[in-house]
Chains A and B, each alone.
Chain A
Amino acid sequence: MSKQSALKQSSAHDVHEVEDIETHEEPNLKGTFAAVMFIGVFIVVSWIGVYALYMYR
């Protein structure tokens, strides 16, 4: 991990500008999105499963 000297002059007010430029070149993360949503659904289904067991008992 190299020390990034470029980061030295970072100041609060130019953060937004940088963000705006970056928005145009967002990487393609469709697969990532699908994968994390799968995880999300898995969590929700497991939780509902045990909740149902709790309600039944």
Chain B
Amino acid sequence: MHVHKYEKIWLTFGIGSLLVFLIVLGWGAFYQGTQPPSCLVTLNPQNVQAHNSFKEENLGVQQVGENEYVVNVLASAFNYDLGKDEEGAPVKKIRIPAGANVTFQATTSDVVHGFHLSGTNVNMMLEPGYISDYETTLDNPGEYTLVCNEYCGVGHHMMSAIVEVYE
């Protein structure tokens, strides 16, 4: 089997590019900690409130440090539960200061849901029995839509919330 010299150059370039991509990704994932969301913590999907993060009073934005926030979200068909405001109405919009360190923690009490803060890298699957988390800094102020991007039933497209990043 003979390989043309141009083909050798092409394959060297092609495979070389793939290697460079892999090294860049591997470096980011293993040395800078930008792994894709892969939380390994489990809970009972039929009793998610048993877990501290998803107790009624802990849902929504929690400030945990000077410039550090945790956002606990309980997803179910077809709603993201972000806790209640002072009047007892469900929170549909949360605010986070730009540049703050934010950890999103979410799970589902029924089927699989998506969790995508559109326009950001916060994009993860929520699966029954697992917590999904993503730690990030949202540097660009603006209004972001939290959308369910995994089909979850007839009201799937109605499932959303707003996250405002303010200066």
Contact = CB atoms under 8 A, between A and B. Distances in A.
A, B assembled together: yes
B96 to A, nearest CB: 15
B122 to A, nearest CB: 9
A40 B14 CA distance: 6
Contact of B24 (A22, A43, A51): A51
Interface residues of B, number: 17
B13 A40 contact: yes
B21 interface: yes
Most-contacted residue by chain A among B2, B7, B120 (CB, 10 A)? B2
B6 A40 contact: no
A57 B136 CA distance: 10
Interface size class of A (residues with CB under 8 A): 20 to 34
B38 interface: no
A36 interface: yes
B13 A29 contact: no
A32 B6 contact: yes
Contacts of A26: 4-5
A18 B56 CA distance: 76
B140 to A, nearest CB: 8
Interface of A: 15, 18-19, 22-23, 26-27, 29-30, 32-33, 36-37, 40, 43-44, 47, 51, 54, 56-57
25 contacts: A18-B2, A19-B2, A22-B2, A23-B2, A26-B4, A26-B5, A27-B4, A29-B6, A29-B7, A32-B6, A33-B6, A33-B9, A33-B10, A37-B10, A37-B13, A40-B13, A40-B14, A43-B17, A44-B17, A47-B21, A54-B121, A56-B140, A57-B119, A57-B121, A57-B140
Interface of B: 1-2, 4-7, 9-10, 13-14, 17, 21, 24, 119-121, 140
Given A47-B21, A57-B121, 14 more contacts: A15-B1, A18-B2, A19-B2, A22-B2, A27-B4, A29-B6, A29-B7, A30-B6, A36-B10, A37-B10, A37-B13, A40-B14, A43-B17, A57-B120
